[in-house]
Amino acid sequence: MADLKTSDTSALKVNQSELWQRYNEFKAKNLKLDMTRGRPCAEQLDLSLGLLDCLGQKDYKAADGTDCRNYGGAGGGVDGLPEIKELFARYLEVEPEEIIIGGNSSLALMYDLIVRAMLHGVPGSATPWGRLPKVKFLCPSPGYDRHFAICEDLGIEMITVTLNDDGPDMDEVERLVAGDDSIKGIWCVPRYSNPTGITFSDEIVDRFAQMKTKAPDFRILWDNAYAVHHLNGRIEPLKNLLTACKDAGNPDRVFIFGSTSKISFAGAGIAVIGSSATNINWFRKHLGVQTIGPDKLNQLRHIRFFSNMDGIMAQMQKHAAIIKPKFEMVFEILESELGGKNIAFYNKPNGGYFISLNTMDGCAKKVVAMAAEAGVALTKAGATYPYGNDPWDRNIRIAPTMPPLAELKQAMELVAICIQLASIDKLLESRI
Amino acid sequence: MADLKTSDTSALKVNQSELWQRYNEFKAKNLKLDMTRGRPCAEQLDLSLGLLDCLGQKDYKAADGTDCRNYGGAGGGVDGLPEIKELFARYLEVEPEEIIIGGNSSLALMYDLIVRAMLHGVPGSATPWGRLPKVKFLCPSPGYDRHFAICEDLGIEMITVTLNDDGPDMDEVERLVAGDDSIKGIWCVPRYSNPTGITFSDEIVDRFAQMKTKAPDFRILWDNAYAVHHLNGRIEPLKNLLTACKDAGNPDRVFIFGSTSKISFAGAGIAVIGSSATNINWFRKHLGVQTIGPDKLNQLRHIRFFSNMDGIMAQMQKHAAIIKPKFEMVFEILESELGGKNIAFYNKPNGGYFISLNTMDGCAKKVVAMAAEAGVALTKAGATYPYGNDPWDRNIRIAPTMPPLAELKQAMELVAICIQLASIDKLLESRI
């Protein structure tokens, strides 16, 4: 198809009027489709139905005899059943003493971690972060809006860093952390990044482990949310950052997060935090004041249902079989509608939950607004940047997993129409 | 039996040697009984076995159609299913818009509330509490050690206030809060108080609602942990503090907490926080950054299993039938071993989980240590006071619910022997 940027104005205008007609046809259908968040679809959730009845009335004891219906258990029960710690230590690639099992939300573990840092400081802090005149975090972007929301809620200044195809721009990261001791942390989704789907290269991991930070208590928040969420039957390798940090003499630099929210049930799964024993012991000390412990029955359900890592990996293949056609549908529509027109650029991830789509500069908000007006709710434009402010107004996060294929097809056709209309508007404006 | 304080020294010495013999006999049995915490026993937990399989593979939708296996739901799903909010609004005696359903831990709701106050301030705060030179809480004592631990963890100075049989010493409370704006809160367990078992009178509730506080952002943390935990078939009335606060023109003064930890499963139940809509909206705003939402499947289990308040009240009668004989056993042993000896004083609560026992001054630590040496672990002496420091070294919290009756009998006989031995030691010392 023709590059719109070099098409002549009259051709653009003909194209525009055809597109408006299609847009209005969509609008007349009164669609109501929600693609705002990365939610699993009903078929994916059905994969875990066994979790709902796997315990039964006679099965409530852990391997060590702990009655999971009651308070207590190994080590007071504050950080999880031994067998679930063992399983998720394998999942996170850490040792069992380097993990704490949380409740149902890894986001809450991240939030609570930063809260503890604000109120107490982390191991190695001279001062609680909250008593410093300023605390800053680096935010490789496009990134995850809920990470950014945590910083905003806690009054942490965000500095946008470019996220490349192999990870954050490390020249920029190294320069910033070496020169400013108020920079205390960085957010990372290192595998199948939200939303761009990229995986950090070994070199990037090593540079994270080895870089000099002016703040002695700098921490990397390594949200490995999509650790096993492969789409294409092949695994993009990710070097173990905790090991790399130990090897580099910075053993306490990283906290790793994970959850089963997109393995078992979203919001009714299990969240985990992994780090050096020093960091984990510090976290546990405050955790034991915050709560008597997590829901051990839900941990027991997960052990019964998955058994081991093989069980988890087999489940993930079933997830992939359900959602891969959805990703492919998105690529197909984008290609057939926008291919060759030079107005939209997107990744084709090998895992994760999102497709990151860049329009021409200055078009994303308009596209999202037009789609909403015709009944398709997308993630808010700008959400993938700190403060909801995409400096180029171009990034749109596509979350293809939740809608059924037929609806997804409609939604993406509409999105493609909106992109073309917004682009043509832009091009025509520039020619006035 | 004879008052030991007026017994002659030779009689005390005979008594002492008999008691040592009994103590050593106990020690030889190699008991290993744990009465450290207020845990339900296995029979109580069996009452809720139906929770384990009440959902099944076809039952995962809330009344409004929300798929509880996924993120989302009414209002984004951050504060609970409508039907569980309705049930627990009734439980807490608040309106559905005045409640948030948390995870499995009411302690975590309290901790997180104070954390938010430290970082942001509560509605009406001029400054986040954490930026003030000092924050103080009033701690009616004997009280709950985990409340005190939260203050200690967050650097909040605790001021001990006397807890009388009808509630805290309000003359003292009123004087303190009127004169010091760094006093930001007070801990209360208003019904069947932990550990003294008393219930606050209407007059105390009214004085709490009406008192003048120098801090405009003073808050009462009303931990109604034993709201329906009646033991003797009669309900000790407790006036609704939220309503009283509204009537007194201080609508935002109180946060109320509750949980099903001692209704369904301890640590696998549901926790709730109730307050004015202003306070609740403030709490929800930060909660929605901390987490995508609580485990809705566990909420659904609780709705299926209990249906309504009648279901909860029927369950509580079954709990009472199991644990009342345990409380009576404790009274029986204490009466038969210590009656008339004028060395120990205890309450006979109409609900809750504890018996608060006062020894002669200066004996509690010794009693707890001696019992531990003979195989019975009690709550640490001093735990019921701020900083673990009982100024009279006399209060011991007896937690009778967990051990089977036969074990409880043994444990209490041992405790009674230890009390007598420690008392006689004390009396003999004073006569040298």
The percent of chain B in helix, strand and coil, each rounded to the nearest 5, is 45, 15, 40
Mutation target vs B (from A52, A284, A296; most B CBs, 10 A cutoff)? A52
Radius of gyration of chain A (CA): 23
Q: Does residue B34 have a pLDDT over 90? A: no
pLDDT reported for residue B290:
97
Interface touch A57/B42, C-beta < 8 Å: no
pLDDT reported for residue A121:
98
How many CB atoms within 10 Å of residue B150? 22
Interface touch B291/A56, C-beta < 8 Å: no
- Our CA-based measurement puts residue B219 at a distance from the nearest CA of chain A, in whole angstroms, of 19
Contact B307, B217 (CB under 8 A): no
Contact A325, A401 (CB under 8 A): no
Query: Which residues of chain B does A37 touch, with a Cβ-Cβ cutoff of 8 Å?
Result: 71-72
Q: What value does the mean pLDDT take over residues B155-176?
A: 98
Mutation target vs A (from B66, B284, B291, B299; most A CBs, 10 A cutoff)? B291
Query: Which residues of chain A does B72 touch, with a Cβ-Cβ cutoff of 8 Å?
Result: 37, 39
pLDDT reported for residue A398:
96
Q: In the structure, what pLDDT confidence band is assigned to residue B431 with cuts at 50, 70 and 90? A: confident
Residues 6+ apart with CB under 8 A from A191: A199, A200, A224, A226, A227, A229, A236, A238, A351, A352
Structure tokens at A141: 């972007």
Q: Does residue B201 have a pLDDT over 70? A: yes
**In which residue ranges of chain A is pLDDT below 50?**
none
The yes/no answer on whether domain B61-306 falls in CATH 3.40.640.10 is yes
ipTM: 0.96
Fold of B4-45+317-431: Aspartate Aminotransferase, domain 1 (3.90.1150)
φ/ψ of B380, rounded to 5, equals: -50, 135
Tell me, letter by letter, the H, E, C secondary structure of chain A: CCCHHHCCHHHHHHHHHHHHHHHHHHHHCCCCEEECCCCCCHHHHHCCCHHHHCCCCCCCECCCCCECCCCCCHHHHCCCCHHHHHHHHHHHCCCHHHEEECCCCHHHHHHHHHHHHHHHCCCCCCCCHHHCCCCEEEEEECCCHHHHHHHHHCCCEEEEEEEECCEECHHHHHHHHHHCCCEEEEEECCCCCCCCCCCCCHHHHHHHHHCCCCCCCCEEEEECCCCCCECCCCCCCCCCHHHHHHHCCCCCCEEEEEECCCCCCCCCCCEEEECCHHHHHHHHHHHHHHCCCCCHHHHHHHHHHHCCHHHHHHHHHHHHHHHHHHHHHHHHHHHHHHCCCCCEEECCCCECCCEEEEECCCCHHHHHHHHHHCCEEECCCCCCCHHHCCCCCCEEEECCCCCCHHHHHHHHHHHHHHHHHHHHHHHHHHHC
Query: Which residues of chain A does B78 touch, with a Cβ-Cβ cutoff of 8 Å?
Result: none
Q: Which of B40, B57, B152 sits opposite A70 (nearest CB)?
A: B40
Q: Which of B45, B149, B293 sits opposite A69 (nearest CB)?
A: B45
**Angle separating helix axes B405-431 and B309-338, nearest 10 degrees:** 40
- Our CA-based measurement puts residue A340 at a distance from the nearest CA of chain B, in whole angstroms, of 37
Query: Which residues of chain A does B52 touch, with a Cβ-Cβ cutoff of 8 Å?
Result: 55-57, 59-60, 297
> Residues B292-335: pLDDT tens digits?
999 999 999 999 999 999 999 999 999 999 999 999 999 999 99
What does the domain layout of chain A look like in residue ranges? 4-45+318-431, 61-306
Structure tokens at B222: 């009303």
Query: Which residues of chain B does A292 touch, with a Cβ-Cβ cutoff of 8 Å?
Result: 105, 107, 146, 266-267
Domain A4-45+318-431: assigned CATH number: 3.90.1150.10
Structure tokens at A320: 């992939």
Contact B145, B152 (CB under 8 A): no
Q: In the structure, what pLDDT confidence band is assigned to residue B1 with cuts at 50, 70 and 90? A: low
Interface touch B39/A71, C-beta < 8 Å: yes
Interface touch B290/A154, C-beta < 8 Å: no
Of A307, A412, A255, A289, the closest CA to residue A90 belongs to A307
Q: In the structure, what pLDDT confidence band is assigned to residue B75 with cuts at 50, 70 and 90? A: confident
Interface touch A295/B39, C-beta < 8 Å: no
Same fold, B4-45+317-431 and B61-306: no
Average pLDDT, whole number, for chain A? 96
Q: Which residue of A has its CA nearest to B103?
A: A103
Average pLDDT, whole number, for chain B? 96
Q: Does residue B432 have a pLDDT over 80? A: no
> Residues A243-281: pLDDT tens digits?
999 999 999 999 999 999 999 999 999 999 999 999 999
Query: Which residues of chain A does B297 touch, with a Cβ-Cβ cutoff of 8 Å?
Result: 52, 265, 268
Q: Give the global pTM.
A: 0.97
Q: Quote the percentage of chain A above a pLDDT of 70.
A: 100
Q: How far is CA A284 from CA A75, A264, B390, B401, in A?
A: 11, 25, 27, 28
pLDDT reported for residue B37:
87
Interface touch B290/A266, C-beta < 8 Å: no
Query: Which residues of chain B does A296 touch, with a Cβ-Cβ cutoff of 8 Å?
Result: 267-268
